[in-house]
Chain A
Amino acid sequence: MCLPVQTCRLRKEHGNKMIYLDNAATTRVSEAVFEAIMPFFCEQYANPSAIYSFAGKSMTAVDAARRQVAALIGAEPNEIYFTSGGSESDNWAIKAAAEAHRDKGRHIITSAIEHHAVLHTCQMLEKQGYEVTYVNVDENGLLRMEELERAIRPDTILITVMAANNEIGTIQPLAEIGALAQKHGILFHTDAVQAYGHIPLDVNALHIDMLSASGHKLHAPKGVGCLYIRRGVRVGAFLHGGAQERSRRAGTLNTAGIVGMGEAARLAGEQMEENARKERELRDYLIGRVLSEIPYSRLNGDSDRRLPGNANFSFRFVEGESVLILLDQQGICASSGSACTSGALDPSHVLLAIGLPHEIAHGSLRLTLSAENTKEELDFTVERLKEIIKRLRDMSPLYEDFVKQKSVL
């Protein structure tokens, strides 16, 4: 198993500006969000659960954030449960659903390209006697719907499929999955960590029963997220203790984080169309330049059903970590699905699942944009990337063999 590799270093000493193209890893806290959360550290520090009026202001702010977070996905505020982030939400949704519905059955369906927060949770449940079906995806990362339909059994209790993939950006057919789950009376959970606030999501239209989201992917701080649980869905608590979050998630509320996520959700709702338009334009410009100017490169993921800010390439004959180190030296922050630095030998399970051979999966590069990136930054990145790929190919035995083979033919 491996994680995308991130390397990033601010290189102020050379006068170079850093170019941040790793927004799927995390985003910058925006000034507006930072301003909104500041009072909740030194001034408005009360525990929102306390009875005095000083605490009341904190609870009022948490309630407002809950409404903002809910509004972004068409949910009711009391269907939102604040958590520490996407991984906790995924763990909670899947484990609690498995526990609550084990009388009905012990079969769970997920996809082969989920985030590890979902995959490893499913693997843990397998050790406890649950059965998990990992539905395959096509060459663009889209779930094979007919395979999903065939996987459904009378004892299936949960379908958990991500809204959009963190590596290749492919957006899944949530409406179809939701309709199928509803038809069969199966709970539908979606890990929307990459999608929440970036593309329109409506839990009712899509028949989503549970949805995981994270704050720091949309310019809120790290350490806050939420799980949406449709009213009436039977799942127990994950963290036990105090009566916070309607006794379903114990722990003193992370007031500042929650307020930040609320403000970020409000802004994301207001600016979604505009931001997505900007990001798509930048993304398509980047993809166009890379594919036309760097030979033997390919785009991974669906070109159409794709997150606005995601570009994922494979460059044949080179290895991803080397590309990342050389980009970093130019002040460019990016990530790769290469196995290197993960301590594992296999490259990204996502890239293997869409059918890439190992050596091509090792040469992947993920560039994820925000609306704050500029065309100039992308031009600089493409120019450097051309040099880097050429340099690494010049020392690659795979490229040497390829060139020799070509000259023989």
Chain B
Amino acid sequence: MYSEKVMDHFNNPRNVGEIENADGVGTVGNAKCGDIMRIYLDIDDNGIIQEAKFKTFGCGAAVATSSMATELVKGKTVQEALTVTNKAVLEALDGLPPAKVHCSLLAEEAIHAALWDYAQKNGIVIEGLEKPVDDIEEKEVE
């Protein structure tokens, strides 16, 4: 069902973890549909992404797209990071089954949310970046 690349990134996910006091953090998705993705970014004074980490609750495709998306943004400027679209993530993973394509959208949104957080904290405007939609269900689990 999944490509070899997807399975590789699911089995050996790159960049799992969190960054304390990260420059930008974005959480997207919702528990209702079963995918929640959080991306942490460390961004230096030149606006270059030095480090990216993620945590994901979700299926194989969600884990693999998070892993790939963090790989793709590392070393890029915040402006360049906007080119890491869902299409770019999909292509880098050699595609996903049709029912799983929404997972790649989530990766793009997570990056945007983390960049938005960074821009907010630093009072800057990243051209072409829009405020992320906040649809996370903060439902208390008991």
Contact = CB atoms under 8 A, between A and B. Distances in A.
Given A339-B34, A345-B33, A398 B141 contact: yes
B55 A397 contact: yes
A17 to B, nearest CB: 21
Q: Is the interface of A mostly helix, strand, loop or mixed?
A: loop
Nearest to B32: A358
Interface stretch (A121-129, A146-154, A221-229, A318-326): A318-326
B133 interface: no
B75 interface: no
Given A359-B139, A397-B27, A318 B33 contact: no
Contacts of A395: 13, 16, 54-56, 63
Interface string A164-203: 0000000000000000000000000000000000000000
A322 B34 contact: no
Nearest to A342: B99
A249 interface: no
Nearest to A394: B16
A400 B55 contact: yes
A341 B10 CA distance: 15
A232 interface: no
A339 B31 CA distance: 11
B125 to A, nearest CB: 27
B57 A338 contact: no
A325 B34 contact: no
Given A359-B31, A359-B141, A397 B60 contact: no
Contact of B18 (A316, A321, A358, A400): A400
Interface in B1-31: 1, 10-11, 13, 16, 18, 27, 31
B43 interface: no
A339 B35 CA distance: 10
Which of A340, A343, A394, A398 neighbours the largest number of chain B CB atoms within 10 Å of its CB? Answer: A340
Interface string B117-142: 00000000000000000000101010
Interface string A302-330: 00000000000000111111100100010
What's the interface size class on B, roughly?
20 to 34
Contacts of B59: 319-322, 338, 340-341
A396 interface: yes
Contact of B60 (A321, A343, A347, A360): A321
B140 to A, nearest CB: 9
A360 B34 CA distance: 9
Interface string B100-130: 1000000000000000000000000000000
Contacts of A341: 1, 59, 97, 99
A357 B139 contact: yes
A362 interface: yes
B138 to A, nearest CB: 9
Contacts of B27: 397
A358 B34 CA distance: 7
B56 A397 contact: yes
Nearest to A362: B34
Contact of B58 (A316, A319, A329, A394): A319
A402 B18 CA distance: 14
Contact of A318 (B16, B57, B61, B97): B57
A399 B38 CA distance: 12
Contacts of B56: 395-397
A357 B31 contact: yes
Interface in A358-389: 358-360, 362
Nearest to B37: A397
B69 interface: no
Nearest to B11: A329
Contact of B32 (A318, A340, A345, A400): A345
Contacts of A362: 31, 34
B38 A319 contact: no
A319 B62 CA distance: 10
Contact of A322 (B33, B38, B60, B97): B60
A184 B13 CA distance: 60
A396 B31 contact: no
Given A319-B58, A341-B1, 18 more contacts: A319-B35, A319-B62, A321-B59, A321-B60, A325-B60, A340-B60, A340-B61, A345-B33, A346-B33, A358-B32, A358-B34, A395-B54, A395-B63, A396-B55, A397-B38, A397-B56, A398-B36, A398-B141
10 closest cross-chain pairs (CB), A and B: A359-B31, A343-B99, A340-B59, A321-B59, A345-B33, A362-B34, A397-B38, A397-B55, A358-B32, A396-B57
